[in-house]
Every structure is written in C-alpha cells, then in structure tokens.
C-alpha cells in the first residue's frame, strides 16, 4: 500500500468511529479497501490494530493526499457514514470537518458527496431489481 492509501483507510476508520461504534457494514467497507489496495498481511494487521480504539480526524495526516486521493476519501467517507443505514449527526459533523481539513470548496464537496450517495442508491436499486 502507498502512504496515501494507508491514510485513506485510516481516515475511513475515523469516519466509522464518528458515532461511537464501528458497525459490521462499516467494517466490511474497510475490509474492502484493504483488499482493493492489496494490503499485505502486515499492513492489514497494522490497520486493524489502528481501528481497535476510537479514532478521530486528529489521528490522520492529510498532507500526503493529492486531489484524487481527497476525492476518493470524501466520496467513500460519505458512503461509509451511511453504511449502517443512516448518517448520524456526529457522522455529518465529521464529514463537515473532513471537508475543511481536505481544504475542499463547499460546492465541490457537496457534488462529491451527492455523487457518491447517488451512485450507491443506483447500485442498491439495481440489486433489488435483479433479486425480483
């Protein structure tokens, strides 16, 4: 994994902790990123250890993220915040803080979040249609 990929996963772990607990759907998303980024056994163990205790955005360095990394992080943080079926007030506050830390324009951040959520809804609807 690159340092940027590790920081994306660390950031997603902080988002997962925003409501005070990490639910199974959120763990699944994090595991998916470990697979996507082809984490070694050592990297996976390191990040799972990192995830054992509550994390905040203070625990994550953002200086290694380029523009693409910032967009990937924000879009997936938006999805992760709703992975348990809803975005709590604390999760929304964390997303707002993430936008500030990533130094993203508010309109651009809104577009990224809406696009991510719209894509997830479309995929979910297709899965439901296929099940019929």
For the chain, domains (ranges, CATH) are: 3-131 (1.10.3680.10)
Residue with tokens 């993203």: 104
Q: What is the reported pTM?
A: 0.75
Q: What pLDDT shows up at residue 29?
A: 84
Other CB atoms within 10 Å distance of the CB of residue 1: 19
CA separation for the pair 43, 39 (Å, rounded): 6
How far are the Cα atoms of 8, 42, 67, 131 from residue 77, in angstroms, in the given order? 9, 24, 15, 28
Residuewise pLDDT in 10s, the chain (132 residues): 998 899 889 988 988 888 888 888 888 888 988 999 999 999 999 999 999 999 888 888 888 788 888 898 898 888 888 776 777 888 888 889 999 999 999 999 999 988 887 765 443 334 335 445
Q: What pLDDT shows up at residue 119?
A: 61
């Amino acid at each position: 994994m690159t340092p940027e990929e590790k920081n994306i996963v660390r950031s997603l772990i902080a988002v997962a902790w925003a409501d005070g607990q990490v639910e199974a759907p959120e763990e699944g998303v994090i595991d998916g990123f470990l697979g996507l980024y082809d984490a070694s056994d050592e990297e996976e163990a390191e990040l799972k250890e990192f995830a054992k205790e509550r994390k905040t955005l203070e625990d994550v360095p953002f200086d290694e993220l380029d523009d693409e990394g910032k967009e990937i992080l924000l879009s997936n943080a938006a999805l992760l915040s709703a992975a348990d079926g809803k975005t709590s007030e604390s999760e929304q506050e964390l997303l707002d803080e993430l936008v500030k830390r990533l130094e993203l324009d508010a309109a651009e951040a809104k577009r990224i979040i809406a696009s991510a959520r719209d894509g997830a809804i479309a995929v979910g609807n297709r899965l439901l249609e296929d099940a019929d």
